[in-house]
């Protein structure tokens, strides 16, 4: 149980975390700050936060748990703005999709207060953003990755684990390096492919006609192409080394498929498709509960 | 209203068409043939067909509408097997995902009976196959593309249009060439990318660990990677010329994204993502009814 949650960045993720923590009876009061006053005001009207903070620092004042839910590129400036009020008992978490860059920023800025910081990445989201889409069940049955540092307080790490578990998430721990390598593969690569695919189709002269013929497979394959441009610009930039390794793996796999198609080797083509098809058919999304909110 | 439907190939698509036509009160009797007698027997037990035919030819005997729902590669042999009983009043349709190859096979085999053939491609399917998944609402709200030939009987083309409209499909007409170019872009390319993506991940040493971290975006992006290997081998081979054009378009779009990521040009990256994101956000799956069965 926490006395006060300070949310910095009242968007989809920050707002959903506040709703979820309250729903779980894990928090007394929620204070929120956003760059735009109208966003914070809306969060208050929607009952997502109780009190509007006039600055990021004031959102930390009196809070024993702080969620920094700002774009990855704004993380360092936010840490600078709040570091003076982080004391050894304050749990501070981010929700960034990349972890090495956030951890580096935290080390640079938080210095001797780094022990309060528990880097977090909840594997949940929607293709819509904004406080109006906040959803207290967003993290239910979803994985959340914590990437603690050697200096991270064991007690605060346990509190972080309890908070995410209380709102239905399945908590995993990884190093920031392993996190970024893994998510380059299963999240960042699919996004870059989906963006490139959509651009490839829509820029052809008959692209508009083609798009009108997309069916359910097209719909699902391209869903992530609608993701937020600023958020994904930051993610792809922050993790570019790992992502460019993954695009190389992908290019080799695509080369192999194109080669067998071009040379008419239908046996080899079937075998490449079969290995993908069987692996995908056997895949199941890891989740803490069997029937989860989407 | 048809007197008798002959279904050749009692799988997901053939079975669903039979159920749908019966549901719409458009057919008196359904006769079915499959290569495997146990499949046809199951179709009869499930009430999808009324009578088991001992051969493809016998499924045509007495039928005024015939659906050839066999893999694209088996189409020519099936046409050969049934051509003697196709008379000018018999409507014959296929359901293949490629049209030029099917039309070529029909021209070669059906000769003076080609007027009975209305090439059809319903944009519907599931990642499961088999008669046990047949579903009378599968085509509801979905597009079906008809690619008639100059020789196609106008009367039978109208009957085909009526049959698909009666089961809730939105009927479009295209040339076989335009069909194959468009579906290379919106269907065949996504499949080849999804197969290549899944292979690229699962063949890495840490692939299994990576896969365990896939979330909802990964799930939707890779759904089509589970598609049937024989069916997709045939589609990719049959339409390879158009598909290889599309992979080139895709490679250029991917090159552009990789280039801006590698050179750290975040403004250009944001603009590439934004064009994909806005186009996808504005895209809506074309459907005959606003709320359709998935």
The answer to whether B213 contacts A257, with C-beta atoms less than 8 Å apart, is no
The answer to whether B185 contacts A204, with C-beta atoms less than 8 Å apart, is yes
Residues of chain B neighbouring A195 (CB-CB closer than 8 A): 257, 272-273, 276-277
Q: Are residues A13 and A39 in the same domain?
A: yes
Q: What is the pLDDT of residue A141?
A: 93
Q: What is the pLDDT of residue A169?
A: 97
Q: What is the pLDDT of residue A127?
A: 67
The answer to whether A197 contacts B253, with C-beta atoms less than 8 Å apart, is yes
Cα of A262 to nearest chain B Cα, Å: 7
A181 Cβ contact list (under 8 Å, min separation 6)? A242, B206
Residues of chain B above pLDDT 90, percent: 92
Cα of B17 to nearest chain A Cα, Å: 18
Which residue's structure tokens are 């993290």? A139
Give the pLDDT of chain A (294 residues) as one tens digit per residue. Answer: 999 999 999 999 999 999 999 999 999 999 999 999 999 999 999 999 999 999 999 999 999 999 999 988 899 999 999 999 999 999 999 999 999 999 999 999 999 999 999 999 999 877 678 999 999 999 999 999 999 999 999 999 999 999 999 999 999 999 999 999 999 999 999 999 999 999 999 999 999 999 999 998 999 999 999 999 998 999 999 999 999 999 999 999 999 999 999 999 999 999 999 999 999 999 998 754 433 333
Residue B290 lies in a domain: no
Q: What is the pLDDT of residue B129?
A: 81
Q: Are residues B153 and B11 in the same domain?
A: yes
- Residues B78-100 have a mean pLDDT of 96
Q: What is the pLDDT of residue B256?
A: 98
Confidence of residue B66 (pLDDT cuts 50, 70, 90): very high
User: In 3D, which of B16, B9, B13 has the Cα closest to residue B32?
Assistant: B9
Cα of A4 to nearest chain B Cα, Å: 30
Residues of chain B neighbouring A283 (CB-CB closer than 8 A): 211, 214, 222
Q: Are residues A119 and A192 in the same domain?
A: no
Question: Which of A97, A206, A280 should one mutate to test binding to chain B, selecting the residue with the greatest count of B CBs within 10 A?
Answer: A280
Tell whether the model's pLDDT for residue B119 goes beyond 70: yes
Q: Is A31 exposed, middle or buried (0-12, 13-18, 19+ CB in 10 A)?
A: buried
**Total domain count, chain B:** 2
Closest residue to B258, CB basis, from A172, A228, A244: A244
The answer to whether A253 contacts B199, with C-beta atoms less than 8 Å apart, is yes
Q: Are residues A25 and A152 in the same domain?
A: yes
pLDDT per residue over B228-244, tens digit each?
A: 999 899 999 999 999 99
pLDDT per residue over B247-283, tens digit each?
A: 999 999 999 999 999 999 999 999 999 999 999 999 9
Residue A290 lies in a domain: no
Q: Are residues A247 and A265 in the same domain?
A: yes
Q: Counting one residue from A and one from B, how many pairs have CB atoms under 8 Å apart?
A: 298
Helix axes A189-202, B240-262, angle to 10 degrees: 120
Question: Which of B197, B225, B267, B292 should one mutate to test binding to chain A, selecting the residue with the greatest count of A CBs within 10 A?
Answer: B197
Tell whether the model's pLDDT for residue B288 goes beyond 60: no
Q: Render A200-239 in DSSP notation, one character per residue.
A: HHHTSTTHHHHHTT--HHHHHHHGGGGS-HHHHHHHHHHT
Residue A96 lies in a domain: yes
Residue B276 lies in a domain: yes
Please state the three-class secondary structure of chain B as a single string: CEEEEEEECCCHHHHHHHHHHHHCCCEEEEEEECCCHHHHHHHHHCCCCCEECCCHHHHHCCCCEEEECCCHHHHHHHHHHHHHHCCCCCEEEECCCCCHHHHHHHHHHHHHHHHHEECEEECCCCCCCCHHHCCCCCCCCCEEEECCCCCCCHHHHHHHHHHHHHCCCEEEECCHHHHHHHHHHHHHHHHHHHHHHHHHHHCCCCHHHHHCCCCHHHHHHHHHHHCCHHHHHHHHHHCHHHHHHHHHHHHHHHHHHHHHHHCCCHHHHHHHHHHHHHHHHCCCCCCCCCCCCC
Residues of chain B neighbouring A216 (CB-CB closer than 8 A): 124-125, 285, 294
Residue B239 lies in a domain: yes
The answer to whether B213 contacts A286, with C-beta atoms less than 8 Å apart, is yes
8 A C-beta contact, residue A27 and residue A48: no
Among the three residues A135, A157, A174, which one is the final residue of a domain in this structure? Answer: A174
A294, two tokens: 């989407």
- Residues B76-82 have a mean pLDDT of 98
The answer to whether B216 contacts A294, with C-beta atoms less than 8 Å apart, is yes
Closest residue to A273, CB basis, from B182, B206, B229: B229
Cα of A234 to nearest chain B Cα, Å: 8
The answer to whether B225 contacts A280, with C-beta atoms less than 8 Å apart, is yes
Among the three residues A174, A203, A224, which one is the final residue of a domain in this structure? Answer: A174
Question: Which of B146, B206, B217, B237 should one mutate to test binding to chain A, selecting the residue with the greatest count of A CBs within 10 A?
Answer: B217
The residue in chain A having the minimum alpha-carbon distance to the alpha carbon of residue B264 is: A237
Q: What is the pLDDT of residue B126?
A: 72
Closest residue to B221, CB basis, from A224, A234, A261: A224
The answer to whether B253 contacts A123, with C-beta atoms less than 8 Å apart, is no
The answer to whether A125 contacts B223, with C-beta atoms less than 8 Å apart, is no
Q: What is the pLDDT of residue B293?
A: 34
The residue in chain A having the minimum alpha-carbon distance to the alpha carbon of residue B266 is: A233
Closest residue to B211, CB basis, from A200, A233, A283: A283
Q: Are residues A157 and A255 in the same domain?
A: no
The residue in chain A having the minimum alpha-carbon distance to the alpha carbon of residue B184 is: A210
Residue B292 lies in a domain: no
The residue in chain B having the minimum alpha-carbon distance to the alpha carbon of residue A202 is: B279
A43, two tokens: 């969060």
Q: Are residues B263 and B134 in the same domain?
A: no
User: Can you give the residue range of the structural domain that contains A196?
Assistant: 179-281
Question: Which of A233, A240, A250 should one mutate to test binding to chain B, selecting the residue with the greatest count of B CBs within 10 A?
Answer: A233
Q: What is the pLDDT of residue A293?
A: 34
Q: What is the pLDDT of residue B285?
A: 85
Q: Are residues A49 and A163 in the same domain?
A: yes
The answer to whether B224 contacts A223, with C-beta atoms less than 8 Å apart, is no
Domain at B122, CATH number: 3.40.50.720
A45, two tokens: 């009207």
- Residues B185-197 have a mean pLDDT of 98
The residue in chain A having the minimum alpha-carbon distance to the alpha carbon of residue B292 is: A216
The residue in chain B having the minimum alpha-carbon distance to the alpha carbon of residue A230 is: B270
The answer to whether A277 contacts B236, with C-beta atoms less than 8 Å apart, is no
Q: What is the pLDDT of residue B289?
A: 41
Q: Are residues A119 and A28 in the same domain?
A: yes
Cα of B48 to nearest chain A Cα, Å: 25
8 A C-beta contact, residue B13 and residue B69: yes
Q: What is the pLDDT of residue A266?
A: 96
Residues of chain B neighbouring A142 (CB-CB closer than 8 A): 215
**Kind and range of the H or E element at A165?**
helix A154-166
Among the three residues A119, A147, A174, which one is the final residue of a domain in this structure? Answer: A174
Domain at B219, CATH number: 1.10.3660.10
Q: Are residues B220 and B161 in the same domain?
A: no
Residue B294 lies in a domain: no
The answer to whether A256 contacts B196, with C-beta atoms less than 8 Å apart, is yes
Q: What is the pLDDT of residue B128?
A: 75
Q: Regarding predicted confidence, which is higher, A127 or B33?
A: B33
Confidence of residue B127 (pLDDT cuts 50, 70, 90): low
The answer to whether B226 contacts A280, with C-beta atoms less than 8 Å apart, is yes
The answer to whether A276 contacts B189, with C-beta atoms less than 8 Å apart, is no
Q: What is the pLDDT of residue A125?
A: 74
Q: Are residues B169 and B187 in the same domain?
A: no
Residue A206 lies in a domain: yes
Q: Are residues B140 and B190 in the same domain?
A: no
CA atoms of A167 and A175, how far apart (whole Å) = 23
């Amino acid at each position: 149980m926490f006395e006060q949650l300070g949310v910095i960045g009242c968007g989809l993720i920050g707002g959903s975390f506040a709703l979820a923590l309250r729903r779980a009876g894990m928090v007394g009061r929620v204070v929120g700050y956003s760059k735009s006053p109208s966003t914070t005001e809306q969060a208050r009207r929607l009952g997502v936060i109780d009190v509007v903070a006039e600055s990021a620092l004031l959102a930390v004042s009196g809070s024993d748990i702080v969620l920094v839910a700002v774009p990855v590129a704004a993380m360092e400036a936010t840490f600078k703005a709040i570091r003076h009020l982080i004391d050894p008992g304050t749990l501070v978490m981010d929700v960034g999709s990349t972890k090495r860059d956030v951890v580096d920023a935290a080390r640079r800025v938080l210095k001797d207060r780094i022990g309060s910081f528990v880097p977090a990445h909840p594997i949940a989201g929607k293709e819509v953003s904004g406080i109006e889409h906040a959803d207290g069940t967003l993290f239910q049955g979803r994985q959340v990755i914590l990437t603690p540092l050697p200096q991270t307080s064991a007690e605060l790490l346990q509190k972080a684990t309890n908070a995410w578990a209380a709102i239905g998430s399945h908590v995993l721990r990884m190093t920031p390096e392993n996190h970024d390598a893994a998510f380059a593969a299963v999240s960042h690569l699919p996004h870059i492919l989906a963006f490139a695919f959509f651009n490839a189709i829509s820029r052809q002269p008959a692209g508009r006609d083609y798009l009108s013929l997309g069916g359910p497979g097209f719909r699902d394959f391209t869903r992530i192409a609608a993701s937020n441009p600023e958020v994904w610009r930051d993610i792809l930039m922050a993790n570019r080394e790992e992502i460019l390794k993954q695009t190389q793996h992908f290019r080799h796999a695509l080369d192999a498929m194109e080669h067998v198609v071009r040379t008419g080797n239908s046996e080899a083509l079937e075998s490449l498709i079969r290995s993908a098809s069987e692996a995908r058919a056997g895949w199941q999304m890891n989740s803490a509960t069997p029937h989860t909110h989407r």
